[in-house]
Amino acid sequence: MTIVVYEDVIVPNSVILAGVSGRQMRQNIRTQNQGGYASVNAVRDVTLREYQLGIAPMKVDAWQAIEGLYEITDAGAFGMLLEDPKDSSVTTAQGALQGYMAGVESGTLGFGNGTPNYGIRKVYTAAGSSRKSARAVTRLKGTASLLRGGSPVTIGVSAGNAAISAGPSYVTFVADTTRSLTGMTLGATTTVTLATSIPGLVVGGKLWLQGMAGADAALLNNLSHTITNIASNVYTLSVNTAGKTITSGPAAAHKYPQPDEALTWSGSYYIPVQFRDDNLDWELVTGGSRDARMVTGPSVYLDEIREA
């Protein structure tokens, strides 16, 4: 079953300061032919982190903090949180939101997509290159600061506000504006007539629809659609509904962050981790009185938990 992460169980700084090592992991299959030409098949293109604790001798009290984590999480049956000692914060230049629609990533990283739901990402770059790689952040430390088009986003329930789920963390925007549908025409493109026009929507923008009825309503419901024409309160959408069975019913249209609006964030975050092994090995490397004793862990590994 999916691993439950205890949000209130955090690897203490005393354990990190005592010494930790780690590595980033991908999964590629590499081959090389007789001529020396190499090829690679990327099996998993998502980076996961691994941490090794107890690599340096530590006081007994620090070691007992590890034992406490081990017992509370049932040796990794449950997860916990760790603050990566070298990578745990995001600036506005590094933080981007990624649109989600129908449960999958949608739209351009760092910009709106006419949808309410967004994943939280940290963007990595290579010096001198415009290439970017985005890492999903699912466990925030404190409250993130959200920016929409460079302006702060209020955490709340009013129009244009947003909410951040506790964990895994996602951003959900409240609609800027909502209008009821008063008419609809199906065809190679789809036109919808709203009670009144929605300010701020332009050709090339996105309109979110929900509440449609009929056998083919899923073509329109809970999706954002590209606007190809606007005539007062009549919006032409790029979706093809020719020959489909859809009725407007009590349908509504919403305006959410648009493709020309940058969506960024800043803040700190944790890594969800679990003990790799059921066993916890230890070694007493310095004897003497309790205050003088030093302990190491030959193979105490924590593996990052990838969350959806």
Domain coordinates in residue numbering, the chain: 5-85+272-304, 89-175+261-268, 178-255
Mean pLDDT of the region 278-291:
91
Name the CATH architecture for the domain at 178-255.
Beta Barrel (2.40)
Q: What is the mean pLDDT of the chain?
A: 95
Is the model's pLDDT at 1 over the cut of 80? no
Given the DSSP bridges, would you call strands 95-101 and 170-173 parallel, antiparallel or unpaired?
unpaired
Element (H, E) at 209: strand 206-210
pLDDT single digits (tens) 233-248: 999 999 999 999 999 8
The pLDDT of residue 249 is 81
Is the model's pLDDT at 298 over the cut of 90? no
pLDDT single digits (tens) 267-284: 999 999 999 999 999 999
pTM of the model: 0.92
pLDDT single digits (tens) 175-211: 999 999 999 999 999 999 999 999 999 999 999 999 9
pLDDT band at residue 291 under the 50/70/90 scheme: confident
Secondary structure in 3-state letters for 168-196: CCEEEECCCEEEEEEEEECCCCEEEEECC
DSSP state of 292: G
The pLDDT of residue 185 is 96
Mean pLDDT of the region 202-222:
97
Is the model's pLDDT at 17 over the cut of 80? yes
pLDDT single digits (tens) 34-51: 999 999 999 999 999 999
d(CA 225, CA 284): 64
The residue assigned the tokens 């991908």 is 26
Element (H, E) at 269: strand 263-269
Q: Are 295 and 57 in contact, with CB atoms under 8 Å apart?
A: yes
The pLDDT of residue 270 is 97
